[in-house]
Structures are given as C-alpha cells and as structure tokens.
Amino acid sequence: MSKRKYFGTDGIRGLVGEHPITPEFVLKLGWAAGRVLSKVGTKKVMIGKDTRISGYMLETALESGLIAAGIDVDLLGPMPTPAVAYLPNTFRAEAGIVISASHNPYYDNGIKFFSSEGQKLSDEVELAIEAKIDVPMTCVESDKLGKATRITDAAGRYIEFCKSRFPRHLSLKGFKIVLDCANGATYHIAPNVFRELGAQVYEIAVEPDGLNINDGCGATSTDFMRKAVLDLKADFGIALDGDGDRIMMVDHTGYLVDGDEIVYMIARDALKNGRLKGGVVGTLMSNLGLEVALQKLGIPFARANVGDRYVMSMLLERGWEIGGENSGHVLNLSHASTGDGIIAGLQVLTALVTSEMTLFELRKGMTKYPQRLINVRYKKDNDPLEHDEVQAEIDKVSEQLADEGRVLIRKSGTEPVIRVMVEGKDSAIVEAAAQQIADKVESFS
C-alpha cells in the first residue's frame, strides 16, 4: 500500500492557515474528491462542520471544489461527526464530509470523509483522491456544474435517530443529568435528545462563539462537568467532545468514567441480554483492567492500533460489534456505523435503567490499573524517537517494570505529539516511570 501524503488516521488535519488547512488546498481537495467519487456513481455529497470559526471558510472552499467537479452539495451546518456519517443514507447522498478537528483547539481544523454506508473511505479511495490533488484543476462545463442546497431539518432527523437507539418502553424521567457539549457541534442536538427522553437536563458549554470549542470543557476537560455534577447534586454527567464522537461520564460521587469503563458496561449489558456478538476490540492504550474484567465474563478481547479507524477495521474483520478507546471513542455497530458519543451514552443509560442501578454501581466489576499518559509536543522536523538516547531510556524503564507493567510510546496521528503511556500495579512506580521517559523525550523535542 502506498504511503499517504495528506490523509492521516482521522482524515486530513492541521493548523488553520498552514498547509494543508488552507482555502486553496481545501478547494483543490473538494475538486479532487468530487472527481474521484463521481467515477463510482456519486452525484451528491453532504457537508457538515463543527463550531470552530474556520469552518465557514473551509466549507465554502470545499463546496466550490465539489461543485466545479460536477457534484451537488447539501450543506448541513453545525452537525456532529456521527450525524454526517448517518445522514447521507437518509438523504440518499453517496458521501458525507465533516469539517472538524474533533477534540483539538479552535485553531486546528480538518476534513473527514464518510461513505454512504457511514464508514470512513477505504485506503484505495483516499489514495486516489491524493493522486488527483497533484494534477491541474479543471472545471466541468456550466450545464454540468453541481448545485448547493442548505438542509434545514438535518438536526431534527438526527435527534430522532438518536432517540430510536433508546428502548421505546424505557424513560429517563427522574434523572438529573449534567450535559457538557464542549461548545461544539452537539450544542443544539444532545440536550434535546436527553430532554425528550424524559431527563432533567442541565446543559453547559452550549454557547459556541467559534473560539471556545473544547476550551476548558467537554470530554477532554472534564473538571467543568464534574464540578457541575457535585454542585447540582446530579445523578451523573455526560461530556462530549467538539464533534460529538467522544464521550466521558461522571457518576454522582465525581468519579470519572472513561471510555474503557463505558465499553465494559455496554459489553456486559449486551452479554446479559444475549446480544453480544463475538468479543470486544480495544487498543494498545486500553487499560489492562478492561481486559481482565472482560476475561472474567468470558468475553474475548483483542487490541488494535490506536485510532477508531483501526478498531473499526478489526471489528469488521472479526465480525464483532463493540469496541472503543479509553479516550471516549465507543463503537457499537448494531446501533451506529461510527463512534457516536450520544448513542454510547444512551446505551449506558439503557443498562442503568433496566438494572435499576446508579452509574456508581453500574461501573463496578472493572478495576482500572494505574496508568499515566504524558503528551510531549515536538517540532515536526525533529523526531525525538529517532534518537538512540530516547530509545535506550524506554528500554531501561521497560526492563525495570518487567512483568509488573507495560510501556507504550506512540505518535499522535493528528498532531505533533508523542504519547508516553506507562501502566502497572503500583501507581507511584507508574508515575515515576512515565515522567522519566517523558523528560528524556522532551529533552530531544
């Protein structure tokens, strides 16, 4: 397989104003995607975006490129990533494109593509688009240009889809929920979903201004939600990220329930109700406690490379349905074609309501091993992992931990960050070991 030039593990992403996240490149990308997709029968594409300020600029550029290639465009406006994966099938479009940098700050942005089946494009299609970017741009004849239409009822359709994933005979009446929408794409959707299912919803971070997406809120900054849960004496809290494909939860005691625990609760409930198909896919970053807890239930567990793309690939390969990452990406292919924070939350609440337990009680059964993750940012032209001294430090710590823990060092697929993760039985040893490696990586960054 040829090496990708622009596409990473989660589409094309970068700093706004720097290649490739510029109006010129995104115009060409839209045209190239239109040319490639039109050859496989695509005549209409849907575009959604999150709430960051650069979305307007990139949406216009992408729209223009697609239209120049003869593709009709449906504009969805602010819309969660999983909604853009779902809606093309509803509107009989052949593809969906999301303008979003997910959990990243407002000054980053990116482009993600979904097929009409709601899954990310194949490697072959992405490589074909990349090849087309490198040829001169042309324009179809005027009578073959695409047309643009703004869709006004997309949010309502997606709200109804989410609600349909919660059993009709159940209700959230009586629950007090804190809902943190990260000032992102779910701000006008998630509160309606949970409220219309009967819950008393206290919504926070639902006032996007283009700059405050993921800023001290959402699934990557959960202290805001945790404080609100404790102050309001809520039953639990749910935090989504900027594009709605991640979820974190907090129980009434303020304990943070991460993606590994959410996957565990969903899988255990599926097993209990005879709906579990095969096993569960995690990643190299999944806590060892998840693997041990599933093993006790007799549920097979496999680890994929980090990234929901790889979790999805392994699920499809094995014919399984449930998987996810500790960062909050949760997949259940019997409910949605991609990771969906709202729907994952509803699955947990289904188990909570039917079991008549609190979230505090529901999460019991899995004990997380102490794990420390340190992100070290580096300059793009200087890879610290290429230095022998860094590798020697990693090997040294791994030998010290022996069978009492594990070390995982990986580069982010979306930003110039090296993730240093150490896991083991003793939290003090884990903390010291992670810091030891991170300091060495940083010294060469």
Mark which of 206, 228, 253 sits at the end of a domain: 253
Where is average pLDDT lowest: 27-41, 85-99, 129-143, 292-306? 27-41
Q: Could you tell me the maximum CA-CA distance found in the chain, to the nearest angstrom?
A: 69
pLDDT for the residue 404: 75
Sign of the C-alpha dihedral, residues 430, 323, 376, 388?
positive
262 domain-assigned: yes
pLDDT surpasses 80 at 3: no
Mean pLDDT of 314-329: 97
Mean pLDDT of 245-264: 98
CA 325/CA 312 separation, integer angstroms: 11
pLDDT surpasses 80 at 266: yes
pLDDT bin (cut points 50, 70, 90) of residue 41 is low
Mark which of 351, 368, 385 sits at the end of a domain: 368
* Closest by Cα among 200, 203, 209 to 189: 203
pLDDT for the residue 39: 74
Residues 310, 390 share a domain: no
Q: Provide the percentage of residues in the chain whose pLDDT is more than 70.
A: 99
* Closest by Cα among 309, 316, 264, 311 to 288: 264
Q: What CATH number is associated with residue 161? A: 3.40.120.10
Sign of the C-alpha dihedral, residues 384, 387, 393, 399?
positive
The residue ranking higher by pLDDT, 196 or 288, is: 196
412 domain-assigned: yes
Residues 92, 61 share a domain: yes
Residues 186, 133 share a domain: no
pLDDT surpasses 50 at 28: yes
Active site residue 102: yes
The active-site residue out of 38, 54, 64, 102 is 102
Mean pLDDT of 290-294: 93
pLDDT for the residue 385: 92
Q: What's the Cα-to-Cα distance from 115 to each of 61, 185, 201, 394, rounded to whole Å? A: 21, 20, 34, 40
136-173, pLDDT tens digit by residue? 999 999 999 999 999 999 999 999 999 999 999 999 99
Domains contained in the chain, number: 4
Residues 290, 385 share a domain: no
Where is average pLDDT lowest: 8-17, 33-42, 143-152? 33-42
Residues 329, 362 share a domain: yes
436 domain-assigned: yes
pLDDT for the residue 10: 82
Radius of gyration of the chain (CA): 22
* Closest by Cα among 264, 320, 314 to 292: 264
pLDDT for the residue 1: 47
Residues 139, 45 share a domain: yes
- Average pLDDT of the chain, as a whole number: 94
Residues 141, 187 share a domain: no
The residue ranking higher by pLDDT, 402 or 15, is: 15
Query: Domain limits at 409?
Result: 371-443
pLDDT bin (cut points 50, 70, 90) of residue 4 is confident
1 domain-assigned: no
Residues 228, 330 share a domain: no
Mark which of 368, 403, 424 sits at the end of a domain: 368
Where is average pLDDT lowest: 220-224, 242-246, 248-252, 395-399? 395-399
The residue ranking higher by pLDDT, 413 or 229, is: 229
378-410, pLDDT tens digit by residue? 987 788 999 999 999 999 999 988 877 889 998
7 domain-assigned: no
Residues 17, 125 share a domain: yes
